[in-house]
Chains A and B, each alone.
Chain A
Amino acid sequence: MGVDMTEEKQLVKDILDGNSEGYRIFIHQYNRLVNHVVFKMVSNEADREDISQEVFVKAYRNLPNFKFDSKVSTWLARIAYNTCLNYLEKKQIPLYQDVVAEGACIDENPGFEVKPDQFTIDRNMAYKLCREIDELPVNYGLILSLYHLQEMTYKEISDILSMPEGTVKSYLFRARKLLKDRLVRNFCLEDLCL
């Protein structure tokens, strides 16, 4: 996120020129992104580190074939996504599951009485939010992370997930609605904010 294209090219060139220490910088630069993908798609904690490691090793091996047709982040996220897909396939974990639109009566919830710019969100809230996102279908959580945390565009996300932009947009809308409904149903504002 926020890495300049020229810097990306220079870093990749350094690594390809044999400066393997450059790859350490590369890992630090992109580990948050890879972890977002891996943590969203793989629930087993023991497997997460192995998969992250596999992603970075694959990326290193294939770096000479990277043509800068896209951002490094998009390319790397695609590797991470495909690696996780293989893992899910092996474990026979479904990528999509039917989600019933729960919390249909959100209008009756009394929780949201605070002006949006008046609250802060603490680590506890972040943890609770993560748990709620984990309850969503795998791809919903991933799209939320890529859009809101990695600040990727619909186009970039559609490239990573190999699906049309319209589908990404529709999943994103559904994911946010589902998540909002869950949060409204399960927490009141005092629980979530300082």
Chain B
Amino acid sequence: MSLSRVSDEEIQEYLDGNLGSREIADLRSRLDNCDKSQEKLREYVYLYKALKCEETHNLSPTLVEAIMENLPPLEEPKKKLNVSYIFAGVVGLITLVGLLHYFIDLTPFVKQLAAFPVFHLRLNWDIFNPLVKLIQKLNAEYYLVGFIALVLMLIKVVDFMLLDPEYRKINH
């Protein structure tokens, strides 16, 4: 235990409540043995109390009215992309496709879809051919519609997470 004079910093730490019980005990014993330190502590206690009573200022009522009258339109919330949400969305999408592929037999789905008039048309545009082939390859019918709906829903959920501001999620 040191019996040196207590420093300004130690007194401030003490009054801020940042000292542990051992440090407080040490500080008190040093204070008991040093009049100068006690005086310094009194000065700081006085200062702390005075700082709590510092003059405060309020806006004049006319200024409040002026602010209220000149309020600008609210800004549109800035849209920020969050990498973790994108990652979660992609993982979710892959998981969904995997689950659908594993649990659902898409054969009747594609058969039904293939019977749909549009797919009987002979499309000359090359860009549609791979798509038609893909759908036929998937061999899906009814379930494909459900699958697309689910994907769209998932996209909406991801879109909501990515683009909607936090304040819309506030609960009453």
Contacts and interface: CB of A to CB of B under 8 A. Distances in A.
B72 A66 contact: no
Interface string B82-118: 0000000000000000000000000000000000000
A53 interface: yes
Most chain A beta-carbon neighbours within 10 Å: one of B12, B63, B167: B167
Contacts, number: 142
A23 to B, nearest CB: 7
A10 B75 CA distance: 19
A49 B167 CA distance: 30
Interface of A: 9-10, 12-13, 16, 20, 23-24, 27-28, 31-32, 34-36, 39, 49, 52-53, 56-57, 60-68, 106-107, 112, 114-116, 119, 121, 123, 125-127, 129-130, 133, 144-145, 148-149, 172-173, 176-177, 179-180, 183-184, 189, 192
Contacts of B8: 173, 176-177, 180
15 contacts: A27-B67, A31-B58, A49-B63, A57-B71, A57-B72, A61-B75, A64-B76, A64-B167, A65-B75, A68-B166, A116-B45, A172-B12, A173-B8, A180-B47, A183-B43
Given A32-B57, A127-B55, 10 more contacts: A20-B71, A23-B71, A32-B58, A53-B66, A53-B70, A61-B74, A112-B42, A129-B50, A129-B51, A173-B8
B1 interface: no
Given A68-B166, A107-B36, A24 B50 contact: no
Nearest to B35: A107
A183 B70 contact: no
Contacts of A65: 75, 77-78, 165
Q: How large is the interface on B (under 10, 10 to 19, 20 to 34, 35 or more residues)?
A: 35 or more
Contacts of A123: 55
Contacts of A149: 51-52, 54, 56
Interface in B29-75: 36, 39-40, 42-60, 63-64, 66-68, 70-75
B47 A112 contact: no
B67 A56 contact: yes
Contacts of A121: 49-50, 53
Contacts of B60: 49
A12 B129 CA distance: 53
A63 B74 contact: yes
A183 B58 CA distance: 26
B47 A183 contact: yes
Contacts of B50: 121, 125-126, 129, 183, 192
